A = this chain, B = another copy of it.
Amino acid sequence: MNVLIVHVHPEAKSLTSSLKDFAVEVLTQAGHSVQVSDLYTMNWKSQIDGEDFLERLNYDRLDIVNESGKAFSEGSQTSDVIAEQEKLRWADAVIFQFSYWWFSMPAIMKGWVDRVFACGFAYGIGGSNRWRYGEGNLKGKRAMLSITIGGPEKDYSARGINGAIDDLLFPIHHGILFFPGMSVLPPFLVHSAGQLSEAGYGQVKANYRSRLLNLFITKPIPFRNQNDGDYDEAYQLKPGLEGDRTGLKIHQSIQTTVKKKQARTIAA
C-alpha cells in the first residue's frame, strides 16, 4: 500500500524526526511504498495569500474560497500545492508526525492543511456541504496522527487538567481529517517526550512498530457519517441518539455500537 508521512520538526536529530525515520524503515520493510513531505526541509510556505492563486478571478479583493475553487478546478494552483494533492491522491494512508505545540499542530503543518485542502478538493465539493464527514475526495484513505507531547499522560486523561486528549484532538481528527472523508485511526502518542530514557525509547519504538504494522487493519474512530441518518436535515444529531447528551463524544457511535452488541448478547 502507499503511505504518505507529513512530517514537521526543525531538528533532524529530534525524537519526532527519529520516529519519522523509524516509520519509513518499518513501513518499507513491510512492503509498503512511502513518501515523506518533510515540511521544514521543503521550506513549506505556511500562509495562504494572493500568490497561492496564479490566475485570479478578482485582483482587487482576495476571496480565498472563490479563488481556491477556481484555481483547483482550472489548474492554476501553485506547484507545491499540486504536488501535495498528488501525494494525497496516491496515498492509501497518511501519517501526520509532529510535536504537540500549544494544544495543536505546529504552524507550518497547519499551513499545509490551509493551503493543500483546497476548495473542491477537501471542502465545498460540488459547491455544497453534501460531501463531507465521511464522504469526500479523501474517502477510503486512512489517517493517523503520530504526536510527541511534552506533558505527562495523566494531564491529558479524562479528568486531567489539560482536558482529555481525545477531546483536544477532535478539531483535527473530526474537523480536518474526517471532514474530507478520511478514516481516522486512534492517535499514536508519546507523552513526556522530553524525559524519554533509552529504554523508554525502545518501548516507544516497539509500540509504534505495532501500530505501523496494523495501519491497515486498526479500527478507525467511529465518527458518525453525515449522510448515514444520524443527523437531521439541519445537521443536528437526532433526538434519541446519545440521549440528550452534549459534548464531543456524541459524534462517535461508540455507545450505539455497545448497545447493539448488548442487544445481540441478550438476543443470543
A interface list, Cβ under 8 A from B: 10-11, 13-14, 40, 46-50, 60-65, 101-108, 110-111, 113-114, 117, 133, 150, 154-155, 157-164, 167-168, 170-172, 174-176, 194, 226, 231, 234-237, 246-251
Contact = CB atoms under 8 A, between A and B. Distances in A.
Given A160-B235, A236-B157, A107 B114 contact: yes
A163 B47 CA distance: 26
Given A157-B236, A164-B246, A226-B161, A104 B46 contact: no
A223 to B, nearest CB: 10
Contact of A248 (B40, B61, B110, B248): B248
B111 A161 contact: no
Given A107-B111, A161-B226, 18 more contacts: A10-B47, A10-B49, A10-B62, A13-B61, A46-B107, A46-B108, A48-B106, A102-B117, A102-B175, A103-B175, A104-B110, A106-B110, A133-B161, A159-B236, A159-B237, A159-B246, A164-B246, A164-B247
Contacts of A237: 159-161
Contacts of A106: 47-48, 110, 114
Contact of A250 (B61, B159, B235): B159
Contacts of A159: 236-237, 246, 250
B133 A114 contact: no
29 contacts: A10-B62, A10-B64, A11-B50, A46-B108, A46-B111, A47-B107, A48-B106, A48-B107, A101-B114, A102-B113, A102-B114, A102-B171, A103-B172, A103-B175, A104-B104, A107-B107, A107-B108, A154-B235, A157-B236, A159-B237, A159-B250, A161-B237, A162-B235, A164-B247, A164-B248, A168-B171, A168-B175, A247-B248, A248-B248
A226 B62 CA distance: 43
Nearest to A60: B13
A11 B236 CA distance: 33
A27 to B, nearest CB: 26
Contacts of A40: 47, 49
- Residue of A11, A104, A105 most packed against chain B (CB within 10 A): A104
B194 A158 contact: no
A60 B11 CA distance: 9
A161 B236 contact: yes
Contacts of A175: 102-104, 162-163, 168
- Residue of A47, A117, A158, A172 most packed against chain B (CB within 10 A): A47
Nearest to A8: B47
